[in-house]
Amino acid sequence: MSVAIGSHDLSAEQRSRRSGGREARRAMRAAPLADDIRPVRAGLEGGRFKALAQSDLERIHEAVLTLLETVGFANAIPSCIEALTRVGATYSDDGRIRFPRALVLSTIENAARNFTLCGQDPKHDMLIQGRRVHYGTAGAAVHLVDVEKREYRESLLQDIYDAARLVEGLDNIHFFQRPMVPRDIPDPLEMDFNTLYACVSGTSKHVGTSFTVRENVAPALQMLYEIAGGEENFRARPFVSNSNCFVVPPMKFAEDACGVLEACVEGGIPILLLSAGQAGATAPAAIAGAVVQAVAEVLAGLVYVNALKPGHPAIFGTWPFVSDLRTGAMSGGSAEQALLTAACAQMAQFYDLPGGSAAGMADSKLPDVQSGYEKGITNVMAGLSGLNLVYESAGMHASLLGFCLESLIIDNDMLGQCLRCVRGIEVSDEALSIATISEVCLNGPGHYLGNEQTLRLMQTEYFYPAVADRFSPKEWNERGKPDLLGKAIVEKKRVLAERFPRHVSRMTDDKLRVQFGELIKLPRSGMGG
Amino acid sequence: MSVAIGSHDLSAEQRSRRSGGREARRAMRAAPLADDIRPVRAGLEGGRFKALAQSDLERIHEAVLTLLETVGFANAIPSCIEALTRVGATYSDDGRIRFPRALVLSTIENAARNFTLCGQDPKHDMLIQGRRVHYGTAGAAVHLVDVEKREYRESLLQDIYDAARLVEGLDNIHFFQRPMVPRDIPDPLEMDFNTLYACVSGTSKHVGTSFTVRENVAPALQMLYEIAGGEENFRARPFVSNSNCFVVPPMKFAEDACGVLEACVEGGIPILLLSAGQAGATAPAAIAGAVVQAVAEVLAGLVYVNALKPGHPAIFGTWPFVSDLRTGAMSGGSAEQALLTAACAQMAQFYDLPGGSAAGMADSKLPDVQSGYEKGITNVMAGLSGLNLVYESAGMHASLLGFCLESLIIDNDMLGQCLRCVRGIEVSDEALSIATISEVCLNGPGHYLGNEQTLRLMQTEYFYPAVADRFSPKEWNERGKPDLLGKAIVEKKRVLAERFPRHVSRMTDDKLRVQFGELIKLPRSGMGG
């Protein structure tokens, strides 16, 4: 296979020679690394990609203040009007709440920042600060993608639990916001309650969830307090946040969601203030305009939360989506989406607020080359922007309509790669390698294969995927041309047959089942018996 | 399918309502756009991602100067020694050429920059300047990926011609460096000559190629002068550059390639000074160290070229690759590769030299979800870094061992997406959309679907893929679950059956076939008869 041309590639022969220390190096990797020297981890600092210049950020900020002051919000519920006017917003004859610039600015100044989103297990705590990056799931897909049948079927409660326990073991997915709705539980109260139950039972990582109406929050809080071992415990370390679509873009409050928001603030649940306009449909088609509207909307929400309870933890959840303007359909995997999300990350940093936005939403219906590049491009740009919480980053397809368990496993590798890119390049005297290069060239073997530096950096500086394939064509052929999707299917089945998390103890679960009785719809048989 | 929860997604019903103006908008897109208002094009300005800080760049530069001065290069051929010592390099008893810092700095100052890499068709000219980004192919794959059989077979001369004429019609692939070697042409002279013949016959875009030995350059030049209509014409607008691996990393000249380099400089061919060390094997495992070595090596080459002919166009081709340190095998799709390439883009900008490096090399053997994210991540980071010439960006698999024609078609969409990301976000008063948002909220319909702004931006601001799929699950199902790979296979066959470029006229080709006789191995039958 060696070709005697001016090729810049290594010949097969060279490659083969170089694989000398392979077994020894493989053995070195057998022992797991301590968390602080792993090549990637939650909370790495991003920010080296800046979609917007500083002057752009300032212009967006000015436009936002103008809109909040002159356009404001429609459809506020009475309690919202009461809370907002009490802190200085105005309510006019045209039914709109408007926000004086001083009120917005003082809210930004005094809002909660640098807080921790807790896991049930403290090792999954996420400090939301600066440009620290965390990847996680989210969504409200109504389908589960069955990759074996190449089919979309309705998503079920068990799927949510299964997704949660898969995420429990995937290192590069740092939090679990419910990605699907249980189509087998039509009653809204039952749906809300069981969605949350499946999430918190399946993973000890931080969970995000939604509620349909205000009244559904109380039973959920009862469950969470029980799991936490008491209300104070939960309030001290809330391991669930409320993904709250308080706004119907453009610039209208969502009445039911506002009720939910008030109940969650009251109950000690952090709020993800989620504005999900769609550029070209419910937000301006101009990317900058979609950012302006999203920022204005979320800041209105921030004023609202802080009017209810100053300093209540809230996430700056600017999630503008994109339309394919030819059809009006959402295009979550697009370049325009990647830019919107990156811009939103910067606006959160502009305000020094904890930012969350969406990336990784593929338009493609299946885990294929298209979904790969759509997810890769949008997720790496989100991370490089220093977005604190990258929602939708794993498992999602069809622009949020289909969720795929196998993709979780595949995307975990992709997110590890993104995190390695976020971590960036160490430039130290040692890393600049003058001594190493000199030694190898002048006195050494003329290569770096067995070099002390190489062996030392192998585990701490290089990210290795868990399921992705790095075989040569020859090895790949000899091993029967392994297919990544096939590997993910096997791994999914293995995990789902074996992993039944017990961070919520059986004793606690027994209590919940006594307390809530028929309300709990996930049978013990689906939870390891 | 509509679910009454606090979902941030649009329900199916909402989606359906919004597709109202769809047909009208599709019709609007029927007419092709003028080049200067297309959403993406060659030469968009990158640079918003900076893998390295300014102080890092300066430290790398200092390390480079130290290495060139103290370690230098081994294995220089006599003509190289003569040229380099004449301009001030030293040649020592240990057989190494060393480069005083003043020589390196004056070379950087006086080297060619801001030049144009020409196409045979001037519309494909590439101005290599600042942070202007161009994507293209490259490589020396020894296999063609047969996606229908899921098989690697030896690459053939016809494959190179076929790849060239596919690239001819793919808007987001801006140049064509030969991506494969013709395994059916073992003789080095015949291989070099026919590779170039297949490239320049297949595409009117700028071509890059290699030569095995110095002697093979002369007949190639005769062919190129003939195609250009005379030597002066070619020298005025050289539409071929020489991808030249003048260095065997670490820090040794490649004797044959140096002979080729000298002949190409003499003959008027721009040089891609290509240093292709592999971190952890032929370059330091530390990313910063691999960059240092690559920059030192390419600057040595730049001194060499400028010693031969001051101001001869040369591309700063720092192409450090990455090893999977567990096995020593190359990993072109890795995060570490993405960082290396992005860092190299910045070093070229640091010197204001025309930079070329590699991205888009997937480890995956086939166009699948892994190759998608590997290519997407590495290519978008290269573009966002403002790399002038992104080599290997389309079609490549198995870390340069396999090239895939169907991937060219798929990757063209991905590169369009990358270019859209590179273009970034326009922030103007109009784009900030205060008036539009106010009008829609206060007086308008409460959405932006038929808005004048939306319709105006549809064609000029949004990138639409050619083959990628944006159907909803419902549409996708109704259309028989189209598979992207299947679409690419059909498109490849259509193009290869129809497109036989004639920028090299039949009359010129007749002359070449008379002049070179049996040397030309690509039969007319494979070129449209």
- Domain residue limits, chain B: 78-423
Q: Do A437 and B15 touch (CB under 8 A)?
A: no
For chain B, the helix, strand and coil percentages under 3-state DSSP, each to the nearest 5: 50, 15, 40
- CB contacts of B191 in chain A (<8 Å) are 5
Instruction: Give the Cα separation of A292 and B430 in Å (integer).
Output: 12
- State ipTM: 0.94
Low-confidence ranges of chain B (pLDDT < 70): 1-32
Closest CB to A377: pick one of B260, B369, B377.
B377
Instruction: Give the Cα separation of A68 and A250 in Å (integer).
Output: 12
Report DSSP state, residue A75.
-
Interface mutation target, options A40, A291, A325, A464, chain B, most CBs of B under 10 Å: A325
Q: Do A19 and B327 touch (CB under 8 A)?
A: yes
pLDDT of residue B21: 52
Chain centroid to CA B117 = 13
pLDDT of residue A436: 97
Q: Which helix (H) or strand (E) holds B455?
A: helix B452-460
Q: Do B432 and A51 touch (CB under 8 A)?
A: no
The structure tokens listed for A323 are 């339309």
A residues 298-317 closer than 8 Å to B (CB): none
Q: Kindly identify which residue of chain A lies nearest to residue B50, measuring between CA atoms.
A: A48
Report DSSP state, residue A363.
S
pLDDT of residue B25: 52
pLDDT of residue A430: 96
Q: Do A462 and B365 touch (CB under 8 A)?
A: no
- CB contacts of A329 in chain B (<8 Å) are 15, 18-19, 470, 472
Q: Per-residue pLDDT tens for B400-429?
A: 999 999 999 999 999 999 999 999 999 999
Q: Are A183 and A155 in contact (CB under 8 A)?
A: yes
Q: What is the amino acid identity at position A137?
A: T
Instruction: Give the Cα separation of A269 and A192 in Å (integer).
Output: 15
B residues 476-505 closer than 8 Å to A (CB): 476-477, 481, 483-485
- CB contacts of A337 in chain B (<8 Å) are none
pLDDT of residue A29: 52
**Would an 8 Å CB–CB cutoff place A149 in contact with chain B?**
no
The structure tokens listed for A19 are 């694989």
Nearest to B371 by CA among B340, B331, B343: B331
Q: What is the number of CB-based contacts under 8 A between chain A and chain B?
A: 537
Q: Are B315 and B241 in contact (CB under 8 A)?
A: yes
**Would you say domain A78-423 falls under CATH 3.20.20.480?**
yes
Q: What angle do CA B412, B418, B420 make, to 5 degrees?
A: 105
Interface mutation target, options B38, B133, B427, chain A, most CBs of A under 10 Å: B427
- CB contacts of B453 in chain A (<8 Å) are 284-286, 289
- Looking at CA atoms only, how far is residue A269 from chain B in angstroms? 16
Q: What angle do CA B118, B121, B126 make, to 5 degrees?
A: 35
Instruction: Give the SS3 label for residue B493.
Output: helix
**Would an 8 Å CB–CB cutoff place B460 in contact with chain A?**
no
B residues 216-255 closer than 8 Å to A (CB): 243-245, 250-252, 254
Q: Per-residue pLDDT tens for B370-388?
A: 999 999 999 999 999 999 9
Nearest to B350 by CA among B390, B399, B298, B311: B298
Could you list the pLDDT tens digit for every one of the 529 residues in chain A? 333 333 334 344 444 444 445 555 555 555 567 777 789 999 999 999 999 999 999 999 999 999 999 999 999 999 999 999 999 999 999 999 999 999 999 999 999 999 999 999 999 999 999 999 999 999 999 999 999 999 999 999 999 999 999 999 999 999 999 999 999 999 999 999 999 999 999 999 999 999 999 999 999 999 999 999 999 999 999 999 999 999 999 999 999 999 999 999 999 999 999 999 999 999 999 999 999 999 999 999 999 999 999 999 999 999 999 989 888 899 999 999 999 999 999 999 999 999 999 999 999 999 999 999 999 999 999 999 999 999 999 999 999 999 999 999 999 999 999 999 999 999 999 999 999 999 999 998 999 999 999 999 988 899 999 999 999 999 999 999 999 999 999 999 999 999 999 999 999 999 999 999 999 999 999 999 8
Strand pairing category for A90-91 and B206-209: unpaired
Beta bridge partners of B117: B126
- CB contacts of B50 in chain A (<8 Å) are 48-49
**Which DSSP string do the residues of B394-431 spell out, in sequence order?**
SSEEGGGTEE-HHHHHHHHHHHHHHHHHHH-----HHH
| Burial class of residue B237 in the structure, from the number of CB atoms within 10 Å of its CB (0-12 exposed, 13-18 middle, 19+ buried) | middle
- Looking at CA atoms only, how far is residue B506 from chain A in angstroms? 30
pLDDT of residue A162: 98
- Looking at CA atoms only, how far is residue A204 from chain B in angstroms? 24
- Supply the mean pLDDT for chain B: 94
DSSP tally for chain B: helices H, then strands E = 20, 21
- Looking at CA atoms only, how far is residue A125 from chain B in angstroms? 25
Q: Do B473 and A376 touch (CB under 8 A)?
A: no
Closest CB to B364: pick one of A183, A335, A469.
A469
Q: Kindly identify which residue of chain A lies nearest to residue B467, measuring between CA atoms.
A: A370
Interface mutation target, options B470, B481, B487, chain A, most CBs of A under 10 Å: B470
- To the question of pTM greater than 0.80 for the whole model, the response is yes
The structure tokens listed for A222 are 């009862």
Q: What is the amino acid identity at position B127?
A: L
Instruction: Give the Cα separation of A38 and A505 in Å (integer).
Output: 30
